[in-house]
């Protein structure tokens, strides 16, 4: 008899707990990835081209800050993340050829002229469904880690990260002659 009275209460409590879990915000990694001295080459609304600032990836958002100005892009709205290493790796395929000439996949193009930087290109969809893109140049060795952080926060890519390549190798220095 007590069981008959307790069963509906327990079922209702279980349903409420399940409903609360569905309403909870997604949990993102506590650590933030910050890249100082990042240049936003083009693409972010409200920012001048070639602005140098700080790129931060945390709480499901890519944030670029320069002085008092800030531009945010939700990681879940990012449909493509490419680095200069991605375009070098896929250069023989269709993706590599297209990203080499595409305005927001211009990492390979920029790397032809600058050797001490990495490039990070994103394509994202805004709230009204418009497709946008942005190109960043980062200090050498930082773009692949930023890509990994964006993917962990919900961004998507057509060129997955190969295991063990969360950071890009430093450019090798030419060896001098040995006596």
Question: Strands 51-58 and 33-42: what pairing?
Answer: antiparallel
Confidence at residue 20, expressed as pLDDT on a 0 to 100 scale: 43
What is the three-class DSSP state of 19?
helix
Q: Where are the domains of the chain?
A: 33-152
Give 45's Cβ-side CA count (13 Å radius). Answer: 8
Confidence at residue 149, expressed as pLDDT on a 0 to 100 scale: 95
Percent of the chain with pLDDT over 70: 56
User: Is 138 a residue whose pLDDT tops 60?
Assistant: yes
| Span 33-152 CATH architecture | Roll (2.30)
């Amino acid at each position: 008899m007590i069981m008959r009275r307790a069963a509906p209460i327990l079922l209702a409590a279980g349903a409420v707990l399940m409903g609360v879990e569905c309403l909870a915000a997604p949990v993102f990694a506590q650590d933030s990835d910050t890249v100082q001295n990042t240049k936003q080459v083009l693409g972010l609304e409200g920012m001048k081209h070639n602005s140098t600032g700080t790129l931060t990836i945390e709480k499901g958002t890519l944030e670029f800050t320069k002085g008092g100005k800030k531009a945010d892009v939700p990681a879940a709205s990012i449909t493509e993340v490419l680095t200069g290493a991605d375009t070098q790796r896929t250069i023989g395929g269709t993706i590599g050829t297209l990203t080499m000439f595409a305005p927001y996949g211009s990492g390979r193009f920029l790397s032809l002229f600058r050797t001490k930087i990495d490039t990070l290109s994103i394509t994202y969809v805004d709230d009204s469904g418009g497709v946008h893109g942005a190109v960043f140049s980062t200090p050498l060795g930082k773009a692949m880690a930023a890509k990994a952080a964006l993917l962990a926060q919900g961004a998507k890519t057509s060129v997955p990260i190969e295991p063990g390549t969360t950071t890009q190798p430093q450019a090798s220095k030419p060896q001098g002659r040995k006596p």
